[in-house]
Amino acid sequence: MCAISSVAGALSWPKVSAIMQMRTELRKQAGEFDRAAEASESVRKYKGSESARLAVQIAEYDAKLPAGEALPELLESARRASQAARITDMIISTREPDRLEDIDESLLQNNDGQCYRQPIVLSGRTDYRSFAVLLGDLAKGRRLVLAREFILEKIEPAGDVAFRAEADAFCFLKTKGRR
């Protein structure tokens, strides 16, 4: 009887070994699955926090997109920003606003009208710090203003700089009489 059980045990050892290897492989796969689930949860949490951050940023931008004929208000805010930066000889010029389209080429609009990009050019003479204050004040203003390009040239011997900044302001304008 002892001999029979020894022979049966010896013959079943490869099956037991295969089962043990399979259990080890399953534990390894379960560990990989748990790590993948943790990574997926981290991505989900990040996407949720990123979505919340973007929603706040979009709300801030929406507040900077006022309705109505906005050019006089834009010019007044640029004038106030130049006074705050102590720039006395700033020149502000504008061009005709461009209508903006969505990614699917439909016009961006809401109840207040269509969204327009108002190009503005600021030029003048000041020091570096005042120019930086001007750009900062324009960016913090009520309207969304994005500086696209600026050029600074040092003026000798005073240490001042001549500047030219091109920017875009965004607003919704009523479309009556506009094409």
Amino acid 62: pLDDT: 63
Q: pLDDT > 70: what percent of the chain?
A: 72
Q: Which residues neighbour 159 within 8 Å (Cβ) at sequence distance 6 or greater? A: 127
User: Does residue 164 or residue 74 have the better pLDDT?
Assistant: 164
Query: Which band of pLDDT confidence, cut at 50, 70 and 90, is reported for residue 116?
Result: confident
Mean per-residue pLDDT for 75-104?
78
CB 39 within 8 A of CB 56: no
Residue 68: φ, ψ to 5°? 95, 180
pTM: 0.49
How far is Cα 167 from Cα 119, in angstroms, rounded to an integer? 6
Q: Which residues pair with 173 in a beta bridge?
A: 114
Helix axes 71-84, 128-140, angle to 10 degrees: 140
- Mean pLDDT, residues 126-150: 81
| pLDDT reported for residue 177 | 44
Q: Compute φ and ψ for 85, nearest 5 degrees.
A: -85, 0
Q: Is the pLDDT of residue 66 over 70?
A: no
Residue 179 has pLDDT above 50, yes or no: no
Output the CATH code of domain 71-173.
3.30.70.60
Could you tell me the end-to-end alpha-carbon distance of the chain, in angstroms, rounded to an integer? 103
